[in-house]
A and B are shown apart, each in its own frame.
Chain A
Amino acid sequence: MISPFQIAYKNLLRDRVRTLLTLGGIMLASWVLVSLLGFNRGYERALDHDIDNMGYQLMVMAKGCPYEAATLMLQGGTGLRYIERSMVDSISREPEVEQATPILMQAYFDPNKGESGGIAGYFGVEAATFPAMKLFYRFRKGGWFQNENAAEVVMGFEAAELEQREVGDMTLVPEKNVQLKVVGILERTGTQDDGTIFVPLKTLQNISETDKITTIGIRVKKGADVAGLEGRLYQLPNVQVVSFSQVKQTIMTLVSTTRVMVFSIAVIALLIAMAGVANTVLMSVVERLQEIGVLKTMGAMPSDIFLLVWTETLILCTGGGIAGVGLAFAFARGADALARRVLPYAPKGGLVEIDLKLALLTIGVVGVVGLLSGAYPAWKAGRVRPLETIRSAV
Chain B
Amino acid sequence: MTSQKGITLEARGLRRTYQRGTEEIHALDGVSLKIQEADFISFTGPSGSGKTTLVNLLGCLDNPTAGELDLDSRRIFGGGKIVSERKLTRIRREVFGYIFQNFYLIPTLTVRENVTLPLAFYRKPGTDGEAEKLLSMLGLEHRMNHLPGEISGGEMQRASIARALINRPKILLADEPTGSLDTKRTMEIGEVLRHLNRSAGLTIVMVTHNANLAKLAGRVIEMRDGRAHEG
Q: Which residues of A contact B (CB under 8 A)?
A: 1-4, 6-7, 10-11, 13-14, 290-291, 294-302, 304, 385-387, 390-391, 393-394
Task: Tell yes or no: B71 within 8 A of A by CB.
Answer: no
B residues 75-103 near A (Cβ < 8 Å) are 85-86, 89, 92-93, 96, 98, 100-102
* Given A7-B106, A10-B106; 11 other pairs, CB 8 A cutoff: A2-B119, A2-B120, A6-B113, A7-B109, A14-B107, A297-B61, A298-B92, A298-B167, A299-B122, A301-B89, A302-B85
- Candidates A2, A11, A296, A387; contact of B116 at CB < 8 Å: A2
Asked whether, in the complex, the Cβ of A2 is within 8 Å of the Cβ of B113, the reply is yes
- Candidates B62, B131, B163; contact of A298 at CB < 8 Å: B163
Contacts of B118 in A (CB 8 A): 298-299
Contacts of A290 in B (CB 8 A): 102, 104
Contacts of B113 in A (CB 8 A): 2, 6, 10
- Candidates B104, B108, B121, B176; contact of A299 at CB < 8 Å: B121
- Candidates A291, A297, A304, A393; contact of B106 at CB < 8 Å: A291
Residue of B nearest to A382 (CB): B85
Bound complex: CA A279 to CA B52 (Å): 34
Contacts of B123 in A (CB 8 A): 1
- Tell me, rounded to whole Å, the shortest Cβ–Cβ distance linking A36 to chain B: 36
Bound complex: CA A387 to CA B18 (Å): 14
Asked whether, in the complex, the Cβ of A300 is within 8 Å of the Cβ of B104, the reply is no
Q: Binding site of A, secondary structure by majority: helix, strand, loop or mixed?
A: helix
Residue of A nearest to B96 (CB): A297
Task: Tell yes or no: B117 within 8 A of A by CB.
Answer: yes
- Candidates A14, A301, A387; contact of B108 at CB < 8 Å: A14
Asked whether, in the complex, the Cβ of B61 is within 8 Å of the Cβ of A387, the reply is yes
Task: Tell yes or no: B56 within 8 A of A by CB.
Answer: yes
Contacts of A7 in B (CB 8 A): 106, 109, 117, 120
Given the known inter-chain contacts A302-B85, A387-B62, A390-B100, please indicate yes or no for A2 contacting B107, CB distance below 8 A: no
Asked whether, in the complex, the Cβ of A394 is within 8 Å of the Cβ of B121, the reply is no
Contacts of A302 in B (CB 8 A): 85-86, 89
Contacts of B109 in A (CB 8 A): 2, 7, 10
Residue of A nearest to B101 (CB): A394
Asked whether, in the complex, the Cβ of A11 is within 8 Å of the Cβ of B52, the reply is no
Bound complex: CA A3 to CA B119 (Å): 9
- Tell me, rounded to whole Å, the shortest Cβ–Cβ distance linking B62 to chain A: 5
Contacts of A6 in B (CB 8 A): 113
Max chain B Cβ within 10 angstroms of own Cβ: one of A2, A296, A298, A390? A298
Asked whether, in the complex, the Cβ of A2 is within 8 Å of the Cβ of B117, the reply is yes
Bound complex: CA A11 to CA B106 (Å): 8
Contacts of A291 in B (CB 8 A): 104, 106
- Tell me, rounded to whole Å, the shortest Cβ–Cβ distance linking B21 to chain A: 18
- Tell me, rounded to whole Å, the shortest Cβ–Cβ distance linking B200 to chain A: 20
Contacts of A294 in B (CB 8 A): 98, 100, 104
30 cross-chain CB contacts under 8 A: A2-B119, A6-B113, A7-B106, A7-B109, A7-B117, A10-B109, A14-B108, A290-B102, A291-B106, A294-B100, A296-B89, A297-B92, A297-B96, A297-B98, A298-B93, A298-B167, A299-B89, A299-B121, A299-B122, A299-B167, A300-B89, A300-B122, A304-B120, A304-B121, A387-B61, A387-B62, A391-B52, A393-B100, A394-B101, A394-B176
- Tell me, rounded to whole Å, the shortest Cβ–Cβ distance linking A378 to chain B: 15
Residue of B nearest to A304 (CB): B121
Asked whether, in the complex, the Cβ of A295 is within 8 Å of the Cβ of B119, the reply is no
Bound complex: CA A208 to CA B176 (Å): 103
Contacts of B92 in A (CB 8 A): 296-299
- Tell me, rounded to whole Å, the shortest Cβ–Cβ distance linking B153 to chain A: 16
Contacts of B56 in A (CB 8 A): 387
Bound complex: CA A13 to CA B110 (Å): 13
Asked whether, in the complex, the Cβ of B61 is within 8 Å of the Cβ of A295, the reply is no
Contacts of B163 in A (CB 8 A): 298
Asked whether, in the complex, the Cβ of B101 is within 8 Å of the Cβ of A295, the reply is no
Asked whether, in the complex, the Cβ of A300 is within 8 Å of the Cβ of B86, the reply is no
- Tell me, rounded to whole Å, the shortest Cβ–Cβ distance linking A8 to chain B: 10
B residues 145-190 near A (Cβ < 8 Å) are 163, 167, 175-176
Bound complex: CA A208 to CA B5 (Å): 118
- Tell me, rounded to whole Å, the shortest Cβ–Cβ distance linking A12 to chain B: 9
Contacts of A10 in B (CB 8 A): 106, 108-109, 113
- Tell me, rounded to whole Å, the shortest Cβ–Cβ distance linking B45 to chain A: 15
Residue of A nearest to B127 (CB): A1
Contacts of B59 in A (CB 8 A): 297
Residue of B nearest to A14 (CB): B108
Bound complex: CA A290 to CA B175 (Å): 15
Residue of A nearest to B113 (CB): A2
B residues 172-223 near A (Cβ < 8 Å) are 175-176
Asked whether, in the complex, the Cβ of A1 is within 8 Å of the Cβ of B100, the reply is no
- Candidates A4, A385, A394; contact of B120 at CB < 8 Å: A4
Residue of A nearest to B122 (CB): A299
Contacts of B108 in A (CB 8 A): 10-11, 13-14
